[in-house]
Amino acid sequence: MNGAESYYRATAPGDAYAPLAGRQEARICIIGAGFAGLATAMSLMEHGERDVVLLEAETVGHGASGRNGGFVFGGYSLDEQALLATVGAEQGKRLYQLTLGAVDQIRRRIAQYGIECDATHGGIYLANWFDDPRVLDERQRFMQEHLGVEWQRISPSDFAEKARSERYFGALFEENAFHFHPLKYTQGLARALHAGGVRVHEASRASAIEARNGKGWRVATAGGEVLCDEVVVCCGGYIERLYPALAGAILPIATYVMVTEPLGDRMPAVLATDAAIYDTRFAFDYYRPLQDSRLLWGGRISIRSRSPQDVARLLYEDMLKVYPQLAGTRVDHAWSGLMSYGRHKMPQLGRLPSGVWYGMGFGGHGVGPTSLAGDVLSAALMGELTQVEQFGAWGLPTTGGPAGLLAAQLAYWYYELRDWIRQ
Please provide residue 11's backbone torsions phi and psi, each rounded to the nearest 5 degrees: -110, 5
Tell me if 282 is assigned to some domain: yes
Tell me if 311 is assigned to some domain: yes
Tell me if 57 is assigned to some domain: yes
Tell me if 422 is assigned to some domain: no
Range 85-123 burial, b when 16+ CB lie within 10 A, else e: eebeeeebbebbebbbebbebbbebbeebebebbbbebb
The pTM score is 0.94
Tell me if 369 is assigned to some domain: yes
Which residues, 6 or more positions from 411, have their beta carbon under 8 angstroms from its beta carbon? none
Rounded Cα distance between 422 and 249, Å, is 33
User: Domains in the chain: how many in total?
Assistant: 1
Tell me if 421 is assigned to some domain: no
Enumerate the H helices of 172-306 as residue ranges: 182-195, 244-247
Tell me if 148 is assigned to some domain: yes
Residue by residue, pLDDT tens for the chain (423 residues) are: 555 689 999 999 889 999 999 999 999 999 999 999 999 999 999 999 999 999 999 999 999 999 999 999 999 999 999 999 999 999 999 999 999 999 999 999 999 999 999 999 999 999 999 999 999 999 999 999 999 999 999 999 999 999 999 999 999 999 999 999 999 999 999 999 999 999 999 999 999 999 988 789 999 999 999 999 999 999 988 888 888 888 888 888 888 999 999 999 999 999 999 999 999 998 899 999 999 999 999 998 776 678 899 999 999 999 999 999 999 999 999 999 888 888 889 999 999 999 999 999 998 888 999 999 999 999 999 999 999 999 988 888 676 666 555 655 656 554 566 656 676
Please provide residue 202's backbone torsions phi and psi, each rounded to the nearest 5 degrees: -95, 175
Which residues, 6 or more positions from 115, have their beta carbon under 8 angstroms from its beta carbon? 109, 184, 185, 188, 189, 191, 192
What range defines the domain where residue 315 resides?
A: 7-412
Strand 208-211 and strand 178-179: the pairing is: unpaired
Tell me if 1 is assigned to some domain: no
Q: What CATH number corresponds to the domain at position 333?
A: 3.50.50.60
